[in-house]
Structures are given as C-alpha cells and as structure tokens.
Amino acid sequence: MSQWLSRVSSWLWSLGIAFVLSLLISTFIIQPTKVLGQSMEPTLRDHSRILIAKWGHSLGETPKYGDIVIIDSRIDRKRGLHDDLLEYPLFQWMSGASGRDIFWVKRVVGKAGDVLEIRNNQVYRNGEPLDEPYLKEKMTTSGIQIITVPDGCIYVMGDNRNHSKDSRFLGAVPIGHVIGKKL
C-alpha cells in the first residue's frame, strides 16, 4: 500500500509542477489563442489559431507600428496581475468565460504623440499616408477625424476597416492593456 501511495504522490507532484510551469509560461511568455471575428481579414480569419508573445507585456514594452496585438478592451479599468492569471486558458474554460467581447486582435497604427488623421478613405500618421497593403478593402470614411495618441497609449485598427470595432470606437489603448503580440 505504501508503494502505491508513493507512486500516486509522485504523479501528483509531477502534475502540480507541470501545471504551475504551464501557468507561468502562458501568463508571462507565450500563449495560444483563437481569433474571433472578421475584423482582421484577410490577414487573420475567424477562428484562426495564433500564438501570442507575452514577454513584451510582462516587461511593459511598447509594440511597433504594424504589429498585430491582442488588447484587453476594458480600458476603463486598471489591469493587474490577477487579470493575467485569470486569462490562463484552463481558467477561462472552467469559468465558461469567452474573450470574444473582451480581447481584441488589432494592428498598431499609432503610438504616443502621433497625430492620426482619417480622411478620404485613408489613414495619415503625422501628415504621411500609411502604406497598408494588408487591408481587405478600401476603408470608407465620412468626414475627417484627427486624433492625437496620448502618452502611454497606442492606437489600433483592424485590417478589415469597414467591419472592425477598434480604437475608432474604443479610443486609444493604454500600454498596460496590450496583452501580447502575434508571433
């Protein structure tokens, strides 16, 4: 009987270590996720699976122009370590939570201090039109929007501009709400 308990104990110890390691890796280094929706077409399709590099988020790095990032759209509240831990896929599955309405996959078009102008179906950054060969179709706009990206924030848009809920709807995204970037 004692040999059997020793084996069970050894297995439980190994499973516990594996769980803690996977939690740490998924929270701070790399995590798989699924794209939900058509806002990033044609670059990413609905239900595509991607890997997120999270070490930049863990280190507070600012993404580069053109990076595809995953953001927490709940920008009206401060994010903390508990948010990172609760995003662990097993915890989401156990709680029945879906990131569909919370986590958005978008492209960085502006960083702190940039002046973005959306006019004539085009995005301009600091007076220069953006070259965006990845767009699904020509963006349709009405009127002119001018946005200055605040300090500590980025401005994000989907590649399917005519069917994307992004910073035009949400506003500038605080760096702390950038969960990671697509590998």
Cβ atoms of residues 140 and 120 within 8 Å: no
Mean pLDDT, rounded, for 53-77 = 88
Which are the catalytic amino acids?
39, 106
Q: What's the pLDDT tens digit per position in 40-58?
A: 999 999 999 999 998 887 6
Locate the domains of the chain by residue range: 2-182
Distances (CA, A) of 105 to 8, 33, 61, 134: 42, 10, 17, 15
Q: What's the pLDDT tens digit per position in 118-164?
A: 999 999 999 999 999 999 898 988 889 999 999 999 999 999 999 99
Q: What is the CATH number of domain 2-182?
A: 2.10.109.10
Q: How far apart are CA 70 and CA 183, in angstroms?
A: 11
Phi, psi of 68 (to 5 degrees): -95, 120
pTM (predicted TM-score): 0.84
Q: How confident is the model at residue 89 (pLDDT cuts 50, 70, 90)?
A: low
Q: How far apart are CA 118 and CA 168, in angstroms?
A: 10
